[in-house]
């Protein structure tokens, strides 16, 4: 039932100078008014006004707090419904008490994401924009934030909507060819249809190309540092952390065998795992076991394999190198401040095709080179374009990939000179898949699942 009135505390739980309770729905004004004691009736307040008054407990006849009552009436509110927001003092008890009072007066406790869901259902936001709200809250770096804001502003949505309009008109033209083959009406030639589809397919492919980078900006990159004891793994981790202060700090760091740190590399949030918990005398594969070592490697987006330029390449090094055959890897020859022999580098090159960078974790040599290499590997060297449309969510990527398959199908049908019906099926399929991104064609249960990822009060 969409018309019942919901309420929740929308500020963080805990002591703060201000706490806010939001009420949304057709009874919001009525409920707000019952607990408002000001110089006039809240019902006579102008839309979009801030009204100072007392929060009045109409059950016990007591004043609970002084507060500001914000009146935002439909449709000009976040949810598109009548909304009252009560800004009171931010104590845990007072905020809870006011919420309870609101509930007792007829509102229902809002579910997680329910305000945003209503905003979506009332057409205030499309689905991609609503999802951007979670992303903004969870953004790990400036870059992740600007990606999310870009999505909230509707740049991805606008592109999808434009393409869907083109597909719809294409369907109309094809239908007309089928239904009125004789009549003298405006038509698109087969060549024009093909050109239109190729253009759209090109556009979708281009967005999909940003998926790898977009996902990394959003979710971060997992890097694992691997190498024998004493080669300088922890020194490298420390050097990277020192240079690239991370924003995220509230994540538990040390486990028994491995150490995790977060760094911010040119806006890319990166989790670096060091196997430094392993004692210097122990062998990583032996200590963790082959399975665990492989698991660690598998879960990484990138492995930094560190080797000591001072020592000979051992059998164990060779074992690790062969484990890394199919993995995105950078080989780091460390301690080059002590010198490195040409034969060493040559032997290493012969063992593996992976890029080799000479560094000194201790003397800060080669680290910029390493950082540049990491960015190049995942972004073709370019993560600057902030207003470019990037996709980052698995849900969007899936929908776009499905749309792309349909577009290719339609193109094939035209090229194979199949009848219009065959083309329409795929054009329709692409149209629907794209609608999933913005939420125009989406099933109720998927919608619920998306909004349930929000927290209460969003």
Specify binding-site residues for K(+). 230, 249, 251, 254
CA 239 to CA 367: how far, in whole Å? Answer: 8
**Are residues 118 and 23 in contact, defined by beta-carbon separation less than 8 angstroms?**
no
CA 160 to CA 166: how far, in whole Å? Answer: 10
Candidate residues 87, 122, 222, 234; the one interacting with Zn ion per rule CB under 5 A: 234
For ligand GDP (CB under 6 A), the number of binding residues is 18
Regarding 233 and contact with ligand GDP (CB under 6 A), the answer is yes
Beta bridge partners of residue 103, listed in sequence order: none
Q: Is 336 strand, coil or helix? A: helix
Angle at 109 between CA 86 and CA 436, to 5 degrees: 105
Specify binding-site residues. 22, 85, 124, 230-235, 249-255, 274-277, 458
Return the number of the residue (231 or 375) whose C-beta is nearest Zn ion: 231
Burial code of 53-85, b = ≥16 C-beta within 10 A, e = fewer?
A: bebbbeeeeeebbebbbbbbbbeebbbbbbbbb
**Are residues 456 and 112 in contact, defined by beta-carbon separation less than 8 angstroms?**
yes
Q: Whats the size of the chain, residue-wise?
A: 458
Regarding 338 and contact with ligand GDP (CB under 6 A), the answer is yes
Regarding 229 and contact with ligand GDP (CB under 6 A), the answer is yes
For Zn ion (CB under 5 A), the number of binding residues is 2
**Are residues 359 and 337 in contact, defined by beta-carbon separation less than 8 angstroms?**
no
Regarding 334 and contact with ligand GDP (CB under 6 A), the answer is yes
Exposure on the CB side of residue 169, measured as CA atoms within 13 A:
13
Cis peptide leading into 88, omega within 30 of 0? no
Regarding 337 and contact with ligand GDP (CB under 6 A), the answer is yes
Minimum separation from the CB atom of position 271 to ligand GDP (A)? 17
How many CB atoms sit inside 10 A of residue 376's CB?
12
How many CB atoms sit inside 10 A of residue 350's CB?
9
User: Running DSSP on this structure, what letter comes out for residue 25?
Assistant: S
Stretch that binds ligand GDP, among 38-46, 113-121, 224-232, 435-443 (CB under 6 A): 224-232
Query: Whose CB is nearest to ligand GDP?
Result: 232
Beta-sheet strand order (sheet of 302-308): 259-265, 268-274, 221-226, 302-308, 329-334, 356-358
Candidate residues 140, 215, 335, 406; the one interacting with ligand GDP per rule CB under 6 A: 335
Convert residues 358-397 into a mask of x (bound to ligand GDP by CB under 6 A) and - (unbound). Answer: --xxxx----------------------------------
Give residues 255-294 in contact with ligand GDP (rule: CB under 6 A). Answer: 276, 280
Stretch that binds Zn ion, among 97-105, 233-241, 317-325, 423-431 (CB under 5 A): 233-241
Regarding 232 and contact with ligand GDP (CB under 6 A), the answer is yes
Stretch that binds Zn ion, among 144-152, 226-234, 302-310, 313-321 (CB under 5 A): 226-234
Residue with tokens 């149209």: 431
Regarding 276 and contact with Zn ion (CB under 5 A), the answer is yes
**Residue 137 binds which entry of ligand GDP, Zn ion, none, with Cβ cut-offs from 5 to 8 Å by kind?**
none
Binding footprint of ligand GDP on the chain (CB under 6 A): 227, 229-235, 276, 280, 334-335, 337-338, 360-363
Binding footprint of Zn ion on the chain (CB under 5 A): 234, 276
């Amino acid at each position: 039932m969409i018309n019942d009135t919901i309420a929740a505390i929308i500020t963080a739980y805990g002591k703060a100078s201000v706490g806010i309770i939001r009420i949304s729905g057709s009874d919001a004004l009525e409920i707000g008014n019952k607990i408002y004691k000001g110089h006039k009736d809240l019902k006579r307040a102008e839309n979009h006004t801030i009204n100072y008054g007392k929060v009045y407990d109409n059950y016990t006849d007591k004043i609970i707090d002084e507060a500001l009552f914000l009146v935002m009436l439909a449709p000009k509110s976040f949810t598109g419904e009548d909304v009252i927001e009560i800004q009171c003092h931010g104590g845990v008890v007072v905020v809870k008490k006011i919420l309870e009072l609101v509930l007792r007066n007829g509102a229902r406790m809002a579910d997680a994401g329910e305000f945003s869901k209503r905003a979506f259902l009332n057409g205030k936001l499309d689905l991609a924009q609503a999802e951007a709200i979670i992303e903004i809250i969870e953004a790990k770096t400036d870059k992740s934030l600007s990606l999310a804001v870009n999505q909230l502003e509707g740049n991805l949505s606008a592109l999808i909507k434009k393409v869907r309009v083109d597909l719809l008109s294409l369907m109309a033209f094809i239908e007309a060819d089928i239904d009125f083959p004789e009549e003298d009406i405006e038509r698109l030639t087969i060549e024009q249809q093909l050109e239109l589809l190729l253009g759209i397919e090109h556009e979708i492919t281009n967005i999909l190309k940003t998926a790898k980078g977009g996902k990394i900006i959003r979710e971060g990159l997992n890097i694992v540092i691997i190498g024998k004891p004493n080669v300088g793994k922890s020194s490298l981790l420390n050097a990277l952390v020192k240079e690239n202060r991370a924003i995220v700090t509230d994540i538990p760091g040390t486990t028994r065998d491995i150490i995790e740190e977060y760094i911010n590399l040119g806006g890319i949030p990166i989790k670096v795992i060091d196997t430094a918990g392993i004692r210097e005398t122990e062998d990583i594969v032996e200590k963790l076991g082959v399975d665990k070592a492989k698991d660690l490697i598998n879960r990484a987006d990138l492995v930094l394999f560190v080797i000591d330029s001072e020592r000979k390449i051992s059998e164990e090094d060779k074992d690790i190198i062969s484990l890394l055959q199919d993995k995105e890897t950078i080989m780091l020859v460390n301690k080059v401040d002590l010198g490195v022999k040409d034969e060493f580098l040559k032997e290493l090159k012969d063992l593996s095709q992976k890029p080799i960078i000479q560094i000194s974790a201790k003397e800060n040599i080669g680290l910029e080179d390493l950082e540049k290499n990491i960015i190049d590997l995942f972004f073709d060297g370019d993560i600057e374009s902030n207003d470019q449309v990037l996709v980052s969510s698995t849900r969007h990527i899936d929908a776009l990939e499905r749309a792309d398959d349909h577009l290719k199908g339609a193109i094939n049908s035209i090229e194979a000179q199949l009848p219009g019906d065959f083309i329409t099926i795929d054009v329709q399929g692409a149209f629907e898949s794209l609608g999933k991104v913005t939420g125009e064609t989406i099933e109720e249960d998927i919608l619920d699942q998306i909004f349930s990822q929000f927290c209460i009060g969003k």
